[in-house]
Chains A and B, each alone.
Chain A
Amino acid sequence: MSAPGASGARQFWRRLRTQRAALVAAVVVALLVLVALAAPLLTAIEGQDPTTYHPSLVDSARGGVPIGSFGGVSADHWLGVEPQTGRDLFARLVYGARVSLGVALAATVVQVAIGVVVGVAAALGSRWVDQLLSRFTDVIVAMPLMIMALALLAIVPSSFPRPVLVALVIGLIAWGSIAKIVRAQTLTLKGLDYVAAARLSGWRTWRIAVRELLPGLAAPVITYAALLIPQNITVEAALSFLGVGVKPPTPSWGQMLTAADVWYQAAPQYLLLPAGALFVTVLALTVLGDGVRTALDPRAASRLRVGTGRKREAKA
């Protein structure tokens, strides 16, 4: 019998290690996080920053296309410069990693927090609480994410830090599916005998929720969260495309993509750099998420219910 948790952590790592793709992905993700964290250092080594304009590096008469080959790649500008502004692309890319990863991660944290609270409360609460919360979750799921994001992002005063806001808005709108998963999983766990045993010990409901249920939710929640992160990166990019994402001059990959998509023909590297970065990140995170899922084995939970001898359907 295998189970994640205190004793399962070692098993988890052991199983994760056996998956080569997941390991490679983990290394890539670690590198990306490192790049994001070390952005100021990296740009200092390059000797550039993400916001300074270099009008002399672009051809003003031709719409501001970078002068020089490969979008103005040089010893000073490792990945060339941005059309129109001449800002350093390497600097913008590495600083963009901070925003893209940070927003996605923070949004995921918000989603998971709300989803777990609502899901657990619905599963453990009375019939009415469950009805109310489940219905509310349905409402949230049925609302078009983009539209609500557009409205919410417009309401909040612009003095509010934008990346935080974007993360909050994504988190506040898109927690429906995780709440549903948590509710279903909690209901399953609630039917398990060890929860009944904890009740017989005399513990109160909230303590049972914290001690007995939450650890059991860890596996499916981590699994789902691992898949949410790349999704949120794409959502941030899409919000930028619609013009309500992170605001300039803060660079984000989504915003770079948005600005760059029309430059596909005139300055391809301008589009390919953020697109490539996004692609690699989402790919690595998704593969890693799959690896985590395999290592945590979501079916462990359902297998818990299967005895070795007579099977009987629990009616309670």
Chain B
Amino acid sequence: MSLVNVTDLTVEFGSLHAVDGLTFRLEQGAALALVGESGSGKSTVASALLGLHRGTGARVGGSIEVAGVDVQAASDDELRRLRGGKAAMVFQDPLSSLDPYYAIGDQIAEVYRVHTRASRRAARARAVEVLDRVGIPDAVRRSRSRPHEFSGGMRQRALIAMALACAPGLLIADEPTTALDVTVQAQILDLLHTLREETGMGLLLVTHDVGVAAESVDEVLVMRHGRAVEHGPVSAVLGSPAQPYTRELLGAVPRVDAPRGHAEVPEKPAEAVLEATGLRREFGRGKRAFTAVDDVSLTIRRGETLGIVGESGSGKTTLGRMLVGLLEPTAGEVRYDGHARVGVNPAVQMVFQDPVSSLNPRRSVGESIADPLRARGEADEGRIRGRVRELLERVGLEAAHYDRYPHEFSGGQRQRVGIARALAADPRVIVCDEPVSALDVTTQAQVVALLGELQRELGLALVFVAHDLAVVRQVSDRVAVMRRGRIVEEGPADEVYDNPQNPYTKQLLAAVPALDPRIAAQRRAARRELAVV
């Protein structure tokens, strides 16, 4: 009997077909990844396996059998026994997925008692046991902590511990590492791997990241628009994809090990447009004060791209905001064109991470793009509209989009609007703060390509701030690696990536998931060594 047997599954929300005729199986102890971009229906499948759509108004068709339970026909009680007992789920965002008000140990114990009727004391003991099992140090004490007292990685471990509590046969992991830093992601993937080896449970991994899938599973099912595109062993699908979409998907994935395509080394360094010396920024006062950026000096030259890479909390966003003048440094200065500068300067623009919050939802995109023009004193309505139309077309949108509102655009389109707005100020430098991290890989590739084009065309200097090492390598001439507010290593991109000097840089690079399962296994071994060292 298969662990999971899904036949002709359809899930409809109103008129939307989220999943459309999907069929797959998962054998006991096997691991399958559902891979797809946003909107492909992969998470919906995961929820459907536990019958979570019951009572929500969604229509579920086809048959679902999980651990011997017919999910469609099961009674509420049977379903409750299945959930967490026979199949457990790990969610994407570990902070919001745990109750902020209760101790983690208590939450695990509660789940355990629902399924076992164990005593309170026994349940607590079990909670400590599983927390220990997933590598929480000092599990007895830490089990009394609340979620916010844990780091992101620890929280994800705790969620996995909750999943393990009742020793289920199936673990469903829905984007389990998406919210995590790359080094933590590697640890969690390693943990899942070890657990699977030891307990022999099946794993259904839902992810948008092909690399993560390559690291973790035996089989891959690529989804798009609710349908299966390609299904097969991981090495086959990723190594020699049969379907065009799969190929497109793989092609769009930036490679950390591939040098930048058009790397052309200028003969002599161009003049510096933006210089930062001894930048320092503190937040808070008194006991809670902490230094986000500490003594950072940088030079950005005309026409070049400086990549700034670092994990969350490394201070890279703060640095980016100081460069454009949105934040005043506590110490040090930013010089533009050789002159010390205070406050914002339209010549230094920014493209923001979140395409949703960076556009005013109540103003048409044309108006937003026109802002720098109007602020500059341009009053001729015709000229403004003309210039905005031109910019819209330049970033790959239509001139007629002027009067549309942000919610009418997709994420990638909105990011293009953001770029057009930055361009409207005729900038010489654009600081891009995680410009593509919220986008699907295929969109990501397009936006990266657009930025490259614009740079060449307009001679812009770009500062590309990102956590994704591969993307940064793809776009950067030079790279600075940040950790705890300081730059630990800086140099030409290829040098830093191919021959890292700093141990932290090495650790980062080792943590990047590889697309080839064999390399992934080697890396895993390498990580163990690094960890030992």
Chain A: CB-nearest residue to B324: A200
A196, B93: Cβ atoms closer than 8 Å: no
Docked pose: A200 CA to B375 CA in angstroms: 10
A311 CB → nearest B CB, Å: 6
- Say whether B376 contacts A308, CB under 8 Å: no
In the complex, B463 has a CB within 8 A of chain A:
no
Q: Is the CB of B362 within 8 A of A309?
A: no
Provide the B418-432 mask, 1 if CB < 8 A to any CB of A, else 0.
100110010000000
Given known contacts A203-B375, A315-B317, A316-B321, A197 and B407 CB-to-CB distance under 8 angstroms: no
For the complex, what is the distance from the CA of A198 to the CA of B344, rounded to whole Å? 10
Tell me if A126 counts as interface (CB < 8 A to partner B): no
With the chains together, A194 CA to B363 CA distance in Å? 11
Q: Contact at A2–B376, with CB atoms within 8 Å?
A: no
Complex contact A201–B352 (CB within 8 A): no
On whether the beta carbons of A311 and B179 are closer than 8 Å, the reply is yes
B132-140, B218-226, B353-361, B452-460 - interface stretch: B353-361
In the complex, what's the smallest C-beta–C-beta distance from B480 to chain A, in angstroms?
19
Name B's interface SS: loop
**Residue among A198, A203, A310 with the most chain B CB within 10 A?**
A310
Check B13 for interface membership: any CB of A closer than 8 A: no
Whether A73 is near chain B, meaning CB under 8 Å from some CB there, is: no
Q: Which residue of A lies closest to B283 (CB)?
A: A315
**Given contacts A2-B407, A216-B362, A194 and B324 within 8 Å (CB-CB):** no
Residues of the A chain whose Cβ atoms lie less than 8 Å from the Cβ of B312: 312
**A window 1-60: CB within 8 A of B:** 1-8
- Whether the pair A316, B327 counts as a contact (CB closer than 8 A) is yes
When distances are taken between beta carbons in the complex, the residues of chain B under 8 Å from A210 are none
Task: Judge whether A192 is part of the interface by a CB distance below 8 angstroms.
Answer: yes
In the complex, chain A residues whose CB is within 8 Å of the CB of B349: 200
Interface size of B by CB at 8 A reads 50
Residues of A within 8 A of B292 (CB): 315
CB distance from B406 to the nearest CB of A (A): 7
Q: In the complex, which of the residues A6, A193, A203, A309 contacts B357, with contact meaning CB atoms closer than 8 Å?
A: A193
Q: Which residues of B contact A198 (CB under 8 A)?
A: 360, 371
> Chain A contacts of B422 at CB under 8 A?
200
* B residues near A316, Cβ cutoff 8 Å: 317-318, 321, 326-327
Cross-chain contact of B352 among A197, A212, A304, A310 (Cβ < 8 A): A197
Within 8 A of B (CB), among A300-316: 304-305, 307-312, 314-316
- Interface set, chain B 364-410, CB cutoff 8 A to A: 364, 368, 371-372, 374-376, 405-407
Q: Tell me the bound Cα distance from A212 to B359 in angstroms.
A: 10
Residues of the A chain whose Cβ atoms lie less than 8 Å from the Cβ of B376: 202
Q: Considering the chains assembled together, what is the distance between the CA atoms of A203 and B421 in angstroms?
A: 14
**Cβ A309 vs Cβ B437 within 8 A:** yes
Q: Measured between alpha carbons, how far is A59 from B517 in the docked complex, in Å?
A: 101
B356–A6 CB distance below 8 A: no
A1-B356, A308-B438 given as contacts; is B421 within 8 A of A197 (CB)?
Answer: yes
Name the residue on B nearest A301 (C-beta).
B361
A side interface size, CB within 8 A: 34
Which residues on the B side are within 8 Å of A2 (C-beta)?
407
What 0/1 pattern do residues 306 to 329 of B give for CB contact below 8 A with A? 000000100001100100111100
Please tell me if the beta carbons of B356 and A304 are within 8 angstroms of each other in the complex. yes
B348, B360, B364: the one contacting A194 at CB < 8 Å is B360
Contact B361 A304 (CB under 8 A): yes
Is B350 an interface position by the 8 A CB rule? yes
Tell me the residues in window 264-316 of chain A with beta carbons closer than 8 Å to chain B beta carbons: 304-305, 307-312, 314-316
A215 contacts B by Cβ under 8 Å: yes
Report which of B179, B325, B356, B368 forms a contact with A197, defined as CB distance below 8 A.
Answer: B368
Once bound together, how far apart are the Cα atoms of A304 and B376, in whole Å?
Answer: 29
A135 located at the interface, meaning its Cβ lies under 8 Å from any Cβ of chain B in the complex: no
User: Quick check: is A199 within 8 A (CB to CB) of the other chain?
Assistant: yes
B362–A7 CB distance below 8 A: yes
Q: Mark A248-269, 1 if CB is under 8 A from B, else 0.
A: 0000000000000000000000
Least Cβ distance of A156 to chain B in Å?
Answer: 40
Q: Are B346 and A307 in contact, with the CB atoms below 8 A? A: no
Known interface pairs A200-B324, A200-B350, A304-B357. Does A4 touch B344 (Cβ–Cβ under 8 Å)? no
B467 within 8 A of A: yes
Q: Which residues of A contact B374 (CB under 8 A)?
A: 201
- Tell whether A311 pairs with B318 under 8 Å between CB atoms, given A193-B357, A200-B324: no
Q: Which residues of A contact B321 (CB under 8 A)?
A: 196, 316
Q: Which residue of A lies closest to B404 (CB)?
A: A7
Q: When chains A and B are docked, how far (Å) is the Cα of A308 from the Cα of B355?
A: 9
Contacts of B375 in A (CB 8 A): 201-203
Chain A positions within 8 Å of B250 at CB level:
none
The answer to whether B178 has its CB under 8 Å from any CB of chain A is yes
Taking CB as reference atom, which chain B residue is nearest A202?
B375
Interface centre among A4, A193, A200, A305 (most CB of B within 10 A): A200
> With A308-B438, A309-B178, A315-B318 as given contacts, are A200 and B359 in contact (CB-CB < 8 Å)?
no
> Are B358 and A197 interface neighbours, CB within 8 A?
yes
Q: Are A1 and B346 in contact (CB under 8 A)?
A: no
Give A5 Cβ to nearest chain B Cβ, in Å: 3
- A192: B residues at CB distance < 8 A: 357-358
* Cβ–Cβ < 8 Å partners of A309 in chain B: 178, 437-439
Contact with B along A167-202 (1 / 0, CB 8 A): 000000000000000000000000011101111111
The residue of chain B having its C-beta at the shortest distance from the C-beta of A215 within the complex is B362
B278: interface (CB < 8 Å): no
Query: Which of A202, A304, A308, A315 contacts B38, CB < 8 Å?
Result: A308
B254 close to A (CB within 8 Å): no
Chain B's nearest CB lies how many Å from the CB of A269? 48
Query: In the complex, what's the smallest C-beta–C-beta distance from A106 to chain B, in angstroms?
Result: 27
Chain A's closest residue to B425 (CB) is A201
User: Are A199 and B326 in contact, CB atoms less than 8 angstroms apart?
Assistant: yes
Evaluate contact between B437 and A200: CB separation under 8 angstroms. Answer: no
Whether B371 and A203, one on each chain, are in contact in the complex, defined by CB atoms closer than 8 angstroms, is yes
B407, A202: Cβ atoms closer than 8 Å? no
Interface centre among A4, A5, A311 (most CB of B within 10 A): A311
Cβ contact within 8 Å between A307 and B356: yes
The reply to whether A212 and B178 form a contact with Cβ atoms under 8 Å apart is: no
Interchain CB contact under 8 A, A3 and B362: yes
CA distance A199 to B364 in the complex (A): 18
Whole-angstrom distance between the Cβ of A206 and the nearest chain B Cβ: 13
Contact A194 B438 (CB under 8 A): no
Chain A contact residues, CB within 8 Å of chain B: 1-8, 192-194, 196-203, 211-212, 215-216, 304-305, 307-312, 314-316
**Contacts A2-B407, A5-B363, A315-B318 supplied; 8 other A-B pairs, CB < 8 Å:** A193-B358, A200-B349, A212-B360, A308-B411, A308-B438, A310-B179, A312-B312, A316-B317
Instruction: List 6 interface pairs A-B (beta carbons < 8 Å), by A numbering.
Output: A194-B357, A197-B359, A200-B349, A200-B422, A201-B375, A312-B312
